[in-house]
Amino acid sequence: MSYCINPACPQPQNPPEAIQCQACGSRLLLRARYQVIQPLGQGGFGATFLAKDISLPGQPTCVVKQLRPNATSSRILEMARELFKREAKTLGKLGDHPQVPRLLDYFEAGQQFYLVQEYIKGSNLKQEVKNSGPFNESGIKDFLMEMLPVVEYIHSQGVIHRDIKPANILRRTQDSHLVLIDFGAVKDQVGQTVLLDMTDQTANTKFSVGTFSFAPPEQMAMRPVYASDIYALGMTCLFLLTGKSPKDLDFDAVTGEIIWQSHVYVSKHLEGILEKMLQPMVGYRYQSAAEVMRALNHQQEDTSSLSDGMVSKRRSHSQPTEDPTVFNADGSPWQSPAAKMAQDIRDRNTRLGLGRTSFTQGGGTGMSSNKTGRTPTGKTGITGITSNSGNKAGKVPAKWDANTLRAAYFKGKRDFADLDLTGLNLQKANLAGANFYESRFTRANLQGVDLSEANLGHARLVQANLKDANLAQAYCSTANFEGADLRGANLTGVYLSKANLRGANLCGANLTDATVSEEQLSLAKTNWMTIKPDGKRGFGL
C-alpha cells in the first residue's frame, strides 16, 4: 500500500503502484525516493509514518516525521523552519550513539517539514508494562544502568531531551537494547501564540515543554535544565514499577512531591535514589546522569551491604540497619526532608530506650503465638497472633520507619506489638490483620490505611490521622484515640470497649455494629453524617 500524507486527504490508502493519490491528487513519493506505507502516530501538529526508501537496494524501511506548522504567516513559517533545522542538526549530532535513531535525511516540501530517521523495530516500555506487568527492583536497576549512559551522552552534546517517558523508550527487537526516541521539536506545536514573543536565543528552549505528568516544575515553566531529564527518568521508573501514570498518584500539596512509596516495594537504597531523582526543587535533585550512576554503583561496591541489603526481586527488601547509603556529589550522605524527620524520631527513641521489644520464651528470643484468642492481659480479644509480654527486660531498640514496616508486612510479618511508631507516615498502607498490641502511633499519618481485623488493643493513637481509614472488625480494646481524626473512617464491627475517644473526630464515620458505649461516644465529635452502631445516621439532631 502507498499512503497519502496530505492532512486533508479523505481517503489516504492507495495501491502500491500509484504515483498520485487517487482521492486528493497529491504526490505520493516524497523527494522522489520515500514511499510512505502506513501511519505510526499522529497529533494536532505533526505525524509519523513508516516508509520505504526505494532508491536503495532492498528498499529499507525508515521513519518519516512530518511537522505541520499551525500558522500561515511568513514570520511563523520562518521560525518553524529555523527550529526544524535546529532539530535536524541535533539529531544529526546525536546519531553516532547506537541507542539513538540515526538521522537519514531532512527536507521541506509544500511548506511542510520532514525528518527521515532510522526505523527501530520493537515495542515501547509503556506497551511492555501493559503486556508483561510492572518491573521488579532488579529490572529497574538494569533499566537505569542502561539508560543513564544514553542520557549522559545526549547531555554531553548540549542537548536536553525534555520528553523522556515510557512511550519514548523502545526495546529493540534485534538485541533487546533500549533506544531513546523523539527528540522534541518535530512533534510540538508551532503556533502564533508560542512563537511571536520568542527570540532566536530562547525559541528552542520554549518550544517544547514535554509531557505534563513526567516533566518537572522548572520545565513546565519553560526553564529546562539537564536535571529535568533526571526527574523524567525517575518518573519513568515509577511507571515501570507501578504501571500507573504519575498523574494517577497522590502528591504533597506543600512540597509538590509525588507520594509513591506505598505503591512499590524496593530497598531503601533504591528508594533513596528515586526520591532524590524526583525532588521538585532542582537544587535538591541529582544534577547529572553520572551522579545517579555513582549512587547505583555504590551499592555494588559495598560487598558487606550486598550480603543483606541488596534486593533483586520486587518482593524483597533490605534490612533497615544495613541499607547502603545514597550519596551526594560531594560524597556526603543524602536524605530527603521526610527521611531526616524520621531519622530524628528514631534517634530520639534510641536515647529514650524505646523501640522494638524482643521476648524470651523457652530459652530463645522471639514472638509467641496465642492460639486461645486471649490478649496478653488475659482478657478475651480477637483470635490470632499476639505478643508474649511476660518478659520485657530484653527490650532492644530498632530502627523502624514507614518503609521498613511496609516491607516487613509485604514479606509476611504480621506481629508488630509494642513498637514505637510515633509520627510515621503510613498513608494508604495495607496493614490488614496485623498485630499492633500496645504499639504507639501518636501523631502518625494513617489516612486511608487498611487496618481491618488488626489488633490495636492498648495501642496509643493520640492525635493520629485516621481519616478515611478502614478499621472494620479491628480489636481496639482500651486503645487511646484521644484527639484522633477518624472522619469518614470505616469502623464497622470495631471492638472499642474501654477505648478513650475523648476529642476524637467521628464526623462521617461508620460505626455500624461497633462495640462502643453511648458514654464513650458522648466524649467524641459526631455529626449528622456519623452512622451509629444501630446503623442509623445522625447525632445531635
Question: Could you list the active site residues?
Answer: 163
What are the Cα distances from residue 357, in Å, to 137, 272, 403? Answer: 31, 27, 19
**Is 312 strand, coil or helix?**
coil
d(Cα 132, Cα 151) in Å, to the nearest integer? 25
Q: Are the CB atoms for 343 and 351 separated by under 8 Å?
A: no
In angstroms, how far is the first alpha carbon of the chain from the final one?
A: 74
d(Cα 401, Cα 339) in Å, to the nearest integer? 9
What are the Cα distances from residue 293, in Å, to 143, 226, 258? Answer: 12, 15, 22
CB atoms within 10 A of CB 281: 12
Query: What single DSSP character describes residue 415?
Result: B
Which parts of 211-311 are beta strand (E)? 250-251, 258-259
d(Cα 291, Cα 282) in Å, to the nearest integer? 14
Cell of 191: 503556533
d(Cα 165, Cα 439) in Å, to the nearest integer? 42
DSSP for 90-113 reads HHHHHTTSTTSPPEEEEEEETTEE
Q: One-letter amino acid identity for 432?
A: A
Q: Is 519 exposed, middle or buried (0-12, 13-18, 19+ CB in 10 A)?
A: exposed
Query: What single DSSP character describes residue 278?
Result: T
Query: Phi and psi dihedrals of 31, rounded to 5?
Result: 55, 25
Q: Are the CB atoms for 479 and 500 separated by under 8 Å?
A: yes
Alpha helix ranges (H) inside 95-195: 125-132, 137-156, 192-195
What are the Cα distances from residue 18, in Å, to 9, 23, 36? Answer: 15, 11, 12
H-helix or E-strand spanning residue 269: helix 268-277
Cell of 507: 464526623
CB atoms within 10 A of CB 524: 23
Select from 323, 277, 262 the least CA-distant residue to 298.
Answer: 323
d(Cα 223, Cα 221) in Å, to the nearest integer? 6
**Is 128 strand, coil or helix?**
helix
d(Cα 425, Cα 422) in Å, to the nearest integer? 9
Q: Are the CB atoms for 449 and 469 separated by under 8 Å?
A: yes
